[in-house]
Structure 1
């Protein structure tokens, strides 16, 4: 990314662009097309950032979330994490992504989220050294290799299908305890 002498202060509150959105959760069996969709958006993100002068050779762009785990049922939303050098330098990454057709959904401390107008791809942006990036990858990699925790996570998601959700964030929060337990086992398996 472009070098900046001094980091700006980050935003201090959640800005949920468009407000809460009622959502119906539908799980789909794993789709072999999800990795291809991720790769298309990875290329789109890289092209947008390259065109704005960002050095993308060392930029982390990873497929995360349930669609990144073969065999796991998921909401058909491709989640991508992008680690940028400075989350406060929105002109370096946010403006190019908006120009590339993504829409801003979340601006909050340490995190931005853009998505496609069809809402089928969510791009999470964090600072390169933000622990959230490591946490996403820890969960993804563990679920890819541990069939028991993959089944537990899927059964947890299925148990939540019968509830009405006023916002996607409420659904995500309802899975928190199970996710924390799975990540604890992932750390133990890695000796951390």
Structure 2
């Protein structure tokens, strides 16, 4: 799997163990920069589920107590190729990695509040799919169907997965 995807597009690829190694390296980089300002950091999203296909973008969630403290690290993060983006998701900050000039993304790093709903939803969702391969495969089937319909519209792709994500997350 090549780790890169043009922003706004959808392309699913089979799981690749390289992604696990890359996610672990990114988590270690984040821990070294954020230190005690990060309570926990986890690899989430479909690339964290070995049984299913995923977009070639690593999703990571960082649990914090204070968004302002994280923003103090922006220069250090930028030096490591981690760039702050305005988040389109309420109650989160979003950082990205990739080739910003070519509009290519390799990582989405979601910063969420400690013990908050967003953290719990991310962790419950990924843990549930890792433990329930049948449901993970159903999720993969939905993703493949949405990829066929919305290959050039990631917003529609994401929105059309939301009902299943909500059901799994207990929303």
Shared fold per TM-score greater than 0.5:
yes
8 Å Cα contact 1:49/1:96 also seen in 2: no
- 5+ residue gaps, structure 2, are 1-5, 100-104
Q: Report what 1:88 is aligned to.
A: 68
8 Å Cα contact 2:41/2:63 also seen in 1: yes
Query: What TM-score does the superposition give when structure 2 sets the normalisation length?
Result: 0.82
8 Å Cα contact 2:150/2:156 also seen in 1: no
Runs of 4+ displaced beyond 4 Å: none
- Name the structure with the higher strand share: 2
**C-alpha distance in structure 2 between counterparts of 1:112 and 1:179, whole Å:** 20
The reply on whether 1:117 has 2:102 as its aligned counterpart is: no
**C-alpha distance in structure 2 between counterparts of 1:63 and 1:94, whole Å:** 21
8 Å Cα contact 2:82/2:97 also seen in 1: yes
The reply on whether 1:73 has 2:53 as its aligned counterpart is: yes
Query: What TM-score does the superposition give when structure 1 sets the normalisation length?
Result: 0.74
After superposition, the C-alpha distances for 1:3-52 in whole angstroms (9 at most, x for unaligned) are xxxxxxxxxxxxxxxxxx863311101111111010110111112224xx
After superposition, the C-alpha distances for 1:63-108 in whole angstroms (9 at most, x for unaligned) are 0000111111100111000011112344334443223221222335
Count of aligned pairs: 160
Which has the larger Rg? 1
- 5+ residue gaps, structure 1, are 1-20, 188-192
